Chains A and B, each alone.
Chain A
């Protein structure tokens, strides 16, 4: 009797449970649906841009500069896992006496996970090798300027469909590890280039230094860079909303500059693994071991985290400076000689006039200021003499 009573009770309990479950399910479903309802869909925009870039592919131009034998070619091969220099013939010292600084370009197409990169390496053999190295950086600065000028012409031209961007995005400068800091040629070179290209100084062949020596050299180089006013490439500040790991990595990177690197074209076996390294009787230097050198940091910085920023700074800062200078030179020439044809199409004459008027006014003010300063100085000298 009791059993027969309890059965329908339990059944109805079950039913009630089921109903409430269904209800809650329905509620949650409708909630998610209404959330779905608020979704417009333009959050897909980054993906749309992404798709376009993957189709087009990227390009990057890297310049390497430094004396012969600093390990530039080896480092480039190690960075991009290529063999760009297999047909190279090294000159002997007699042949090098008459060698001038050349500019040689190597281009290689790399594809990884569907992303295509057209990498151009600009090599500068002969730099710093001669007996008299006066102004040996001139062919290099000329090359960089030529690329800017080419881009400026293309950008101002009529057909802008397929502009080739050959501007140099980054220049790795190899500082020899043998000395006690920067040599005069290092300082002059970096100062000639720091306003035209992103200069990243590296300490080359770092495997000939002990950790203490490396630290001393880095501190010395950093101090000299600051003292001589060399504007090397600055890593952008981290956003406040980046995760802690990224911020930590960024901090470490900034503290390690200039990076001390080692490159290798050979594979050795150590601790059961095959790694890129250099085999010495006293041990094996592993290129990708962070405690041995900063190669991994350089690779990560150059390729995995700052490639885009390097290109941006080249476009927004170095190129814009060049362009502004170029236009100013052109407009000053035009005002001197009204009948000269403009080499590059420029727009309504009203614009250059307004700009030149403004420039003339600026120069006038500057002149007035300098005149005032001169007068003050003269007055001071005069007063000093009297006493």
Chain B
């Protein structure tokens, strides 16, 4: 029996030491460092970019003269942002037609930069005959949409299209205590279709709490009866969580506000308020007026949502209408009479 010598290279490889175990990793949580990819870092990247770019906000204020629109804007942003603070005029004359005046400011807080534009509409509702006084305002809002649209369809368009669209329109209701006036209904009915309307009861320091509640209820009923959808609109609630938050807000609108840019000493603190012989009305005290709720809604919690609804709903409605108009025009010009989808 001959032994065949097994050449060395055919010998089996040395057994793997037990320490070097090779296994296939199972993807998913519970594996320690293996399961962390790091995709949540994209939020930080977005945030950094947003901080660099800054934000834009365009607010329009509409209401009769003397309802405190400019003062409220100054109070909201704690600085002199309204048209009156920028102009040199001391005498206020009611203009013959409605003027649309835009004033822009760059403001910054905690590293966040914002370009705030306040659009004032002096002359609204001040004439003897106020028919169609909403038309210049509608025209202005649509002109902003048009400008954005033109920029968007341009061949060489800018990286970041400057956004001059009106994000929010604050409508000032005079504190009559009874109900909405026909002018209020007409205006809000037409404009709630093109822009976010936030109605507020101006100069609310002339109403007692009971009168205020009654007035608010009346206003809400009338808005419902006329099919006017003010911000936050019910149909744009995204999910149950949003609906819950917005329902609470909808039960409180319109907010009864008092504005002031004067400080007074109250209980050892300096506060914004209005001083009268019978007491001092503190603007930021929610027992006195609802300014704080308005500020929180507009600035601290729903600002992004307001801008979102403007760009993804109101602007899109305008765009679709314009495109359809154009398609009909082309179809007619071509003589085909066919509407392109």
Contact = CB atoms under 8 A, between A and B. Distances in A.
Interface of A: 26, 30, 33-34, 37-46, 48-55, 58, 79-83, 110, 112-115, 117, 156, 158-161, 239, 265-270, 276, 279, 284, 299-300, 303-309, 312, 316, 320, 323-324, 327-328, 339, 341-342, 345-349, 351, 355
22 contacts: A37-B78, A40-B107, A42-B299, A42-B303, A43-B112, A44-B301, A46-B51, A48-B302, A81-B27, A81-B37, A112-B36, A115-B39, A156-B153, A265-B24, A267-B23, A307-B41, A307-B42, A309-B45, A320-B157, A341-B330, A342-B330, A347-B150
A324 B41 CA distance: 33
Nearest to A303: B38
B328 to A, nearest CB: 11
A272 B34 CA distance: 16
Nearest to A348: B326
Nearest to A358: B155
Contacts of A33: 269
B308 A42 contact: no
B43 A267 contact: no
Given A42-B300, A341-B340, A305 B45 contact: yes
Contacts of A42: 55, 57, 107, 109, 112, 114, 299-300, 303
A48 B326 CA distance: 37
Given A46-B50, A342-B340, A300 B295 contact: no
Nearest to B304: A48
A114 B45 CA distance: 16
B268 A30 contact: yes
B156 interface: yes
Contact of A82 (B27, B109, B327, B334): B27
Contact of B270 (A37, A80, A304): A37
B303 A45 contact: yes
A269 B153 CA distance: 58
A160 B152 CA distance: 14
Given A81-B34, A303-B37, A342-B330, A49 B46 contact: yes
Contacts of B38: 112, 299-300, 303-304
B42 A308 contact: yes
B304 A45 contact: yes
Interface in B310-340: 312, 316, 320, 322-324, 326-327, 329-330, 333-334, 336, 338, 340
A187 to B, nearest CB: 30
A264 to B, nearest CB: 9
Interface string B108-138: 0111101000000000000000000000000
Contacts of A324: 155-156
Given A44-B301, A303-B42, 13 more contacts: A30-B268, A44-B299, A51-B304, A82-B27, A267-B24, A267-B25, A268-B20, A268-B21, A270-B20, A303-B38, A320-B156, A320-B157, A349-B333
Interface of B: 19-25, 27, 34-43, 45-47, 49-52, 55, 57, 76-78, 107, 109-112, 114, 149-150, 153-157, 159, 238, 268-272, 295-296, 299-305, 308, 312, 316, 320, 322-324, 326-327, 329-330, 333-334, 336, 338, 340-341
Nearest to A355: B155
A110 B323 contact: no
* Interface-central residue, A160, A239, A309, by most chain B CB under 10 Å: A160
Contacts of B303: 42, 45, 48
Nearest to A80: B37
A178 B19 CA distance: 32
A55 B305 CA distance: 13
Contacts of A114: 40
Contacts of A320: 156-157
Contacts of A82: 27
* Interface-central residue, B27, B77, B296, by most chain A CB under 10 Å: B27
Nearest to A321: B156
B321 to A, nearest CB: 10
B40 A276 contact: no
Nearest to A77: B27
A328 B334 CA distance: 21
Contacts of A52: 304-305, 308
Nearest to B79: A40
The 4 closest A-B pairs by CB, nearest first: A48-B304, A43-B110, A308-B45, A304-B41
A37 B77 CA distance: 11
Contact of A40 (B27, B47, B77): B77
Nearest to B320: A158
Contacts of B24: 265-267
Nearest to A344: B340
A314 to B, nearest CB: 13
A40 B78 contact: yes
A314 B141 CA distance: 32
A345 B21 contact: no
* Interface-central residue, A113, A156, A159, by most chain B CB under 10 Å: A113
Contacts of A158: 320, 323-324, 341
A48 B50 contact: no
B221 to A, nearest CB: 32
A113 B37 contact: no
B19 to A, nearest CB: 6
